């Protein structure tokens, strides 16, 4: 198994924030699957969803994971889109890529972080809390099943979260 740390969790759970922090403080390599896709496609996630739909985006996610494995990516903090772990095939690919860490965050925290966000197509229009709760209900168990380590991030600093990852 490659020596990567994979951060999974709901939109707004802090995956990118944590990986940026680790990169800046420990000089580790980091990679984000959404950024990778945006670079490949040369358009935003919103544009991809609007033009080609979610299904197409999910195919891109799987192909990115395969590429990372083919490229033998190692020693990297990899943050992945919130919906990526849901597909079973992706679950297997994640396991091969490294240690899967689920950053768990409460719905109220997520609502607060996402309330002004315009970059996540799945959360636009309608009642935000309801959307988050519905998606979370479908996803939570899968996140837990995919994870080698589950961290309840409530009240934890980035350093405390990272320490948890390192000691487990």
Choice between 15 and 146, CB closer to ligand S3P: 15
Residue 54: closest CA among 18, 81, 15 = 81
Q: Binding ligand S3P by CB under 6 A: which of 40, 92, 107, 122?
A: 122
Q: Is the separation of the CB atoms in 18 and 101 below 8 Å?
A: no
Chain centroid, CA 31 distance in Å: 11
Binding of ligand S3P by 11 (CB under 6 A): yes
Residue range at the interface with ligand S3P (CB under 6 A); choices 17-25, 79-87, 124-132, 151-159:
79-87
**Tokens (6 digits) for 144:** 């837990």
99 scored as a contact of ligand S3P (CB under 6 A)? no
Q: Are strands 4-8 and 76-79 parallel, antiparallel or unpaired?
A: parallel
User: Which backbone phi and psi does 80 adopt, to 5 degrees?
Assistant: -120, 155
Contact window for ligand S3P (CB under 6 A) among 22-30, 63-71, 105-113, 120-128 = 120-128
Q: Residue numbers of the site for ligand S3P (CB under 6 A)? A: 11, 15, 34, 45, 81-83, 120-122
């Amino acid at each position: 198994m490659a020596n990567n740390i994979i951060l999974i969790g709901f939109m707004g759970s802090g995956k990118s924030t944590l990986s940026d922090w680790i990169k800046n403080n420990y000089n580790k390599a980091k990679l984000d699957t959404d950024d990778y896709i945006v670079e490949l496609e040369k358009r935003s996630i919103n544009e991809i969803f609007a033009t080609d739909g979610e299904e197409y985006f999910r195919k891109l996610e799987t192909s990115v994971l395969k590429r990372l494995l083919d490229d033998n990516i190692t020693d990297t903090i990899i943050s992945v889109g919130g919906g990526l772990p849901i597909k079973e095939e992706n679950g297997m690919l994640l396991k091969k890529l490294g240690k899967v860490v689920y950053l768990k965050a409460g719905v109220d925290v997520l609502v607060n972080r996402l309330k002004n966000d315009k970059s996540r197509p799945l959360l636009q229009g309608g009642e935000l809390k309801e959307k988050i709760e519905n998606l979370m209900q479908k996803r939570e168990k899968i996140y837990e099943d995919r994870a080698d380590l589950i961290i309840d991030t409530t009240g934890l600093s980035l350093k405390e979260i990272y320490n948890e990852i390192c000691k487990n």
